[in-house]
Structure 1
Amino acid sequence: MRITKLLYHFRHALQGDYDNYTAGSIRQAIFYLAVPMILEMIMESLFAIVDIFFVGKLGVNAVATVGLTESVVTIVYSIGVGFSMAATAVISRRVGEKRLDKAAAAAFQVIVLGAIFSLTISISGYIYGGTVLELMGASPAVLSEGTRYTQIIFAGNISIMLLFIINGAFRGAGNAAIAMRTLWLANGINIVLDPLLIFGIGNIPGMGIEGAAWATTIGRSIGVLFQLYHLVKGSTRINITAQAVKLRWNTVKNIIKISSGGMGQFLIDSASWIFLTRIVSEFGSVALAGYTIAFRVVMFTLLPAWGLSNAAATMVGQNLGAKLPERAEKSVWYTARYNVYFLGFVSVLFLFTADIFVSWFSADEAVVAAGATALKIFCLGYIFFAFGMVIVQAFNGAGDTRTPTIINLGVLWVFQLPLSYLLAIQYNLGEMGVFITIAISHSLHALVSLWVFRKGKWKNMKV
């Protein structure tokens, strides 16, 4: 009976049949949000794994190109995630207040803002793609092979930006199933196009690493069209009608205020990853390739965990909007517990099988050894990561993006970057110094976030 009941709820979660997250069972509400959110992020993480799987067959330089480009493109992700946080916080609050017209208006404002930002990045990124790789320490071989890849990824960043933003709006409204279908469509297309465009088919020659960039851009662009269709069609709680298509400066200022904290939060995080990648690049392409593969494998597990954490953001936003702060807090503790179960299992798995996972993406023994070492060290902090990411999303769902920004600045820049440099360069631990620092600093980040969360000031945020 329990299995039958679970399958029943699972099916309805996929269909998006739950529409009241401010009453009834908290566990059931989390389940109906978390299932599509986790599946959404599983496809996103699968995209990253498949991408590096095919690119890995082109050689170490191709993998290094993806690693260097991705570390800089995380700045685009940061801006997109910042706007996405604002969309989730504002829209979930309006939905909790039962003001759906205001939720639709907010969605339009954040989409326009995201599109404006992405155009600037597209132009500058396309022009200076090669310079970006050079500044990141790329070798002449990597520059020759990878510049075109970097240019295409930057030029098509509007698809990345809008995917983040609109899915954040869907999640805030509780329409997690639509967000899930968008990612499955976009990344499913990328997975199909990847081998076709990289290696070619029949008499059609492959494009090499440039093909991977085109596959990503095409897949995500189709995903954005799918999102816009549902927004205009009115098949979700957010229906952008003619009345919503109007700039509202008070809403714009509110979104900029929240998203600026989110951008700062993730820009600090992204910049720290860029510096860490730069330090690893000092030890050669093998170390960089191993680090890149390990990071992709880590994201394969952390992204589903972020999906579960996103459920906490929606629950917090909607319940604060409905004037139910205690229900919002209980939702966070439940979600954190489930996340610990998941990442605890993954950490044990990686400790014993890291070399097997890394060997799927490279036949080079030196790369496998470097990647396996990185993966084993990273997962030592997984239990702390599990708590930390849920707490951070709770802050963001409440509209308090400033607190995680301050924590990121203190832990990731003031603590992590100097320590990684000291261990890797000054104490001659090489890339191992960077790997150890990542595990330590993100564990510390979780503990600090938990301490601040328990003070409860986030419950009084006005959005």
Structure 2
Amino acid sequence: MRIEHSDQCETERIREDRRAGKYAIPSGNSPASRRLSVGTDLTHGSLSRHLIRLTLPLIAGNMLQQLYNTIDAFVVARYAGLAEFAAIGVAAAVMNLFFFAIAGACIGVTVLLAQLYGAGDEKTFKDEQFTAVSFGMAGAAAAGALGTAGTGPLLSLLCTPPEIFAFTQEYLRIVLLSLPAAFLYHFYSALFRAVGRVNVTLTILALAVLLNLGLDIVLVAWWGMGITGAAWATFIAQAVSALLSLLYLHRTLPQLMFGRENVGLHLALLRKTVHFSFVTGLQQTGLYIGKLAVQGAVNSMGTATISAYTATMRIEAFVNSFGDSGAAATAVLTAQNFGAKDSGRVRLAFRQSLIVLGVLGLLSSLLLWGLAGWASALLLGDASGPAFDSAVSYLKIVALFYILNFTGNTLAGYFDGVGRVSVTLLGTCTHIALRAVLAWVFITEYGLDAVAVLTGLGWLLVNSIWALFYWRERLE
């Protein structure tokens, strides 16, 4: 990636400032320097290269996660029956709220750990690890217990059909008990990302997907356990992924594990951890709830519209994995350099991310436009009819705006990385609320085309909000 002349000048100034001792970089013999050697120090070297090296495994991980989420439904559909297959779909809407909240909360932890890692603050890094693990595990266990106890009333509230009620309840009761293991896996994935070891997370996730598939085949297809077998397969896969994460840290990166000296009540860190985790968790759950509201508007339009929207959402999920991964990589890259108090390199990381993700966004727009018909036919199984026409029209409209999705990911990653997670939350909730409310207003008259236009306008709005915050910060 070519760096503009102004960026080259800024890089030279950074080097001069470091030679002058402006930035507190640990000496080669310091404990902090030795700790940094066990991960990837993103405070030195080519920013664009770091960004790409972080983004590629995250993209692969996101795609694997999508596969992970569909394995149960695929096996149950083939070997259990339509009622249990439908129960998986209803259960997914419930359990995803819990899993999105956990994954979102761990985004905040990633930022804190990456900032401390970039600052070379080994003691506080380990104190934060103990604080986040102990209170996070307690929270996940409480959420799992409450969720398991409340599945009956919750499913009744969702108007779950009687013929699938028991199947759905059984599945949720087992899967929600795995929330502590899910938290542990997501937490240590956050730690590995914070120190630049994104390949570790990808490897563990790949093993978990293979294990889940193997257990599904054994428990559902061979032993005939139906949806109960699928639930236990998910439970075991979550537990094994958490165990593998702990084993890897203990065997390969023991320098990063907290010890007895880090055990205690660190109130300042606890307050900061709760703030970051709550805001980023709320951001992810708010986004999911907003999408459910849009889905409700689509559901009011009949089977053809629902089928078309389902197809487009699966296509968009694939494309969005690139932008979401870029946002996560930008957050880690920014956070490490922010922790090192290297403001010039933070700004340069933002510009490099804007270039890389802007190019990816433009390519995504062109591909969506050109392959809209082929992709829709592939998922719908038919290249004609109302569902196909609606899907193609939706994708071609939304393709006109897609670059804004990717530039928005750069801004979101930047604000997360510098610790201004509330700004990210404000933009996310504002734009998803706009899409959800207006979808109900316009979908009756304009169909999926209205949802596509509103999606693009939502991205335009969130880019505008975040850009205003960014430029105001630069002027201060």
TM-score band w.r.t. shorter chain: 0.7 to 0.9
1:408 matched to 2:425 = no
Question: 1:380-395 to 2 correspondence within 5 Å?
Answer: 380-395=400-415
* Aligned mate of 2:282, from 251, 260, 264: 264
Q: Quote the Cα distance in structure 1 between the aligned partners of 2:76 and 2:391.
A: 16
1:157 matched to 2:157 = no
Q: Is the 8 A contact 1:374 1:432 kept in 2?
A: yes
Question: 1:188-199 to 2 correspondence within 5 Å?
Answer: 188-198=210-220
1:48 matched to 2:69 = yes
Which residue of the partner structure matches residue 242 of structure 2? 224
1:113 matched to 2:132 = no
Q: Cα deviations across residues 263-310 of structure 1 (Å, max 9, x unaligned)?
A: 232232122123223333334566556544543442233224322221
Q: Is the 8 A contact 1:30 1:312 kept in 2?
A: yes
SS at match of 1:455: helix
How many Å apart are 1:75 and its aligned residue? 2.7
* Aligned mate of 2:51, from 27, 30, 43: 30
Q: Quote the Cα distance in structure 2 between the aligned partners of 1:179 and 1:159.
A: 15
1:87 matched to 2:109 = yes
Question: 1:325-364 to 2 correspondence within 5 Å?
Answer: 325-354=343-372, 356-357=374-375
Q: Quote the Cα distance in structure 1 between the aligned partners of 2:265 and 2:162.
A: 47
Q: What is the letter of the counterpart of residue 75 of structure 1?
A: L
1:445 matched to 2:465 = no
SS at match of 2:341: coil
Q: Cα deviations across residues 29-58 of structure 1 (Å, max 9, x unaligned)?
A: 223322333332232233235555545657
Cα RMSD for the two superposed structures: 3.4
Listed as ranges, the gaps of 5+ residues in structure 1 are 1-15
The sequence identity of aligned pairs, in percent, is 19
1:146 matched to 2:165 = no
> Relative to structure 2, which stretch is displaced further, 136-145 or 149-158?
136-145
How many Å apart are 1:128 and its aligned residue? 3.1
Rg larger for: 2
Q: What is the letter of the counterpart of residue 419 of structure 1?
A: L
The 3 A distance-change label for structure 1 pair 433 and 162 is farther
The 3 A distance-change label for structure 1 pair 337 and 436 is same
Q: Is the 8 A contact 1:190 1:216 kept in 2?
A: yes
Q: Quote the Cα distance in structure 2 between the aligned partners of 1:352 and 1:64.
A: 33
Q: Is the 8 A contact 1:340 1:383 kept in 2?
A: yes
Question: 1:286-365 to 2 correspondence within 5 Å?
Answer: 287-288=305-306, 291-354=309-372, 356-357=374-375
Q: Is the 8 A contact 1:344 1:383 kept in 2?
A: yes
Which residue of the partner structure matches residue 10 of structure 2? none
Q: Is the 8 A contact 1:86 1:262 kept in 2?
A: yes
> Relative to structure 2, which stretch is displaced further, 415-424 or 263-272?
263-272
Which residue of the partner structure matches residue 32 of structure 2? none
Q: What is the letter of the counterpart of residue 399 of structure 1?
A: G
The 3 A distance-change label for structure 1 pair 25 and 312 is same
Output the TM-score relative to the length of structure 1. 0.82
Q: Is the 8 A contact 1:130 1:147 kept in 2?
A: yes
> Relative to structure 2, which stretch is displaced further, 376-385 or 20-29?
376-385
Q: Cα deviations across residues 180-209 of structure 1 (Å, max 9, x unaligned)?
A: 2222222232233344444x13xx3251x4
Which residue of the partner structure matches residue 33 of structure 2? none
Q: Quote the Cα distance in structure 1 between the aligned partners of 2:110 and 2:166.
A: 41
The 3 A distance-change label for structure 1 pair 343 and 158 is farther
1:422 matched to 2:441 = yes
SS at match of 1:456: helix
The 3 A distance-change label for structure 1 pair 444 and 258 is same
Question: 1:65-76 to 2 correspondence within 5 Å?
Answer: 65-76=87-98
Q: Is the 8 A contact 2:294 2:435 kept in 1?
A: no
Q: What is the letter of the counterpart of residue 150 of structure 1?
A: L
Q: Quote the Cα distance in structure 1 between the aligned partners of 2:62 and 2:264.
A: 32
Q: Quote the Cα distance in structure 1 between the aligned partners of 2:73 and 2:315.
A: 10
The number of residue pairs the alignment matches comes to 437
Q: Is the 8 A contact 2:41 2:195 kept in 1?
A: no
Q: Is the 8 A contact 1:119 1:158 kept in 2?
A: yes
Q: Quote the Cα distance in structure 2 between the aligned partners of 1:393 and 1:341.
A: 16
The 3 A distance-change label for structure 1 pair 362 and 61 is farther
Q: What is the letter of the counterpart of residue 175 of structure 2?
A: I
SS at match of 1:260: helix
Q: Is the 8 A contact 1:83 1:255 kept in 2?
A: no
How many Å apart are 1:168 and its aligned residue? 1.3
Listed as ranges, the gaps of 5+ residues in structure 2 are 1-36
Which residue of the partner structure matches residue 34 of structure 2? none
How many Å apart are 1:225 and its aligned residue? 0.8
Q: Quote the Cα distance in structure 1 between the aligned partners of 2:163 and 2:378.
A: 24
The 3 A distance-change label for structure 1 pair 104 and 349 is same
How many Å apart are 1:145 and its aligned residue? 5.0
The 3 A distance-change label for structure 1 pair 375 and 114 is farther
The 3 A distance-change label for structure 1 pair 111 and 295 is farther
Q: What is the letter of the counterpart of residue 276 of structure 2?
A: I
Q: Quote the Cα distance in structure 2 between the aligned partners of 1:290 and 1:159.
A: 36
Q: Is the 8 A contact 2:361 2:404 kept in 1?
A: no
The 3 A distance-change label for structure 1 pair 108 and 406 is same
Which residue of the partner structure matches residue 104 of structure 1? 126
SS at match of 2:247: helix
Q: Quote the Cα distance in structure 2 between the aligned partners of 1:372 and 1:60.
A: 28
Q: Is the 8 A contact 2:326 2:409 kept in 1?
A: no
Q: Quote the Cα distance in structure 2 between the aligned partners of 1:294 and 1:52.
A: 19
Q: Quote the Cα distance in structure 2 between the aligned partners of 1:132 and 1:375.
A: 34
